[in-house]
Structure 1
């Protein structure tokens, strides 16, 4: 039992160290030697758990995507699309800010080193909520649903980059993003005076 627990700890440490390195340097800029040094684990221990850098990247992505997918599936469904969109966007943004696994997964997927359903699932969820907001009259007529969807994606992508740049140091935080999102929501809502109703 003790050996199994040790193996689990070693694997967890390797995945975390790999996530930090992939997040900072991308797949091509990360070496297995750097991951071992970061984790304080030998190359032999790494190759025991992961046969290749690709296998390690897949494990990191699984962890990060799992966090993001749980947010998506647990999102509220109140029938108020702008409110539900706000809950989803703010939760995803906060997770990308605090979770190196989630940021690393997003980078590995964007760079094409890992294949995942997450980007399509996330995009589809946002599109659905924006479309519902548009059909219900909650979205201003001056902004097309496709434009609103792109705006949301760009804002959340920005959180990922900001969090990566700060490297866990004091910097952009979810409260800062909430203010940015509030400003964006004011421009999306049919009646800006009621945009606060879209906030959780």
Structure 2
């Protein structure tokens, strides 16, 4: 059991180290030697867990997807409706991108031109936004004439833009930046009685 736990810890250390290197250097420049040194493990231990740099990149994206799903599932204001959930989760995503190198590297890898088979982390995000806005429409939270398709385009384009710009300048991921975006967008999305209750600032306990 101790050997198995040690292997799990080593794998986790390698994934985090790979995320740090990919985030800092990019996929093309990163090497297995750099990653093993960053993780503090031997080259042999790295190869025991991962056959290639591409396999490590896939593992980082998988870990990032798990984090993204946890962020999307952490709705602390369930009774506030689906639009509020969307606002809160975008704040959670920005917070994760600021502080979680695995999440940040996962998003970066999915659009890295040096990878032969980039992942679809952003597509998972688009799918969640689409599902949430469809639920908001069914619940009568959207203004008449506002279709979820257009709203999906606006939200995904903006949040992915924040993610990309935030890799160089964290003010794009700041709570106030996300709040200002929602201050502008919510009046075009939400019915009047719902708009009065929505909080663009995100959850206070974040």
Residues in 2 aligned to 1:96 and 1:28: alpha-carbon distance in whole angstroms: 22
Shift of 1:165: 1.6
The equivalent residue for 1:95 is: 96
- Normalised by the size of structure 2, how large is the TM-score? 0.75
Structure 1 alignment gaps of length 5 or more: none
Shift of 1:129: 2.6
The equivalent residue for 2:85 is: 84
Shift of 1:44: 2.5
- Is 1:56 equivalent to 2:56 in the alignment? yes
- Is 1:147 equivalent to 2:153 in the alignment? no
- The residue correspondences of 1:1-200 to structure 2 (distance < 5 A) are 4-75=4-75, 77-78=78-79, 80-111=81-112, 113-116=117-120, 118-134=121-137, 136-141=139-144, 143-166=146-169, 171-183=171-183, 184-191=185-192, 195=195, 197-199=197-199, 200=203
2:91–2:175: 8 Å Cα contact kept in structure 1? Answer: no
Superposed CA RMSD? 3.1
Deviations 1:110-161 (A, max 9, x none): 3463545x54443233223323434555334575422211121122213322
Shift of 1:31: 1.8
Shift of 1:91: 2.0
- Normalised by the size of structure 1, how large is the TM-score? 0.76
1:20–1:100: 8 Å Cα contact kept in structure 2? Answer: yes
Tell me: CA distance 1:58–1:181, structure 2 relative to 1, closer, same or farther (3 Å): same
Residues in 1 aligned to 2:181 and 2:97: alpha-carbon distance in whole angstroms: 15
Residues in 2 aligned to 1:105 and 1:53: alpha-carbon distance in whole angstroms: 14
Secondary structure of 1:110's counterpart equals: coil
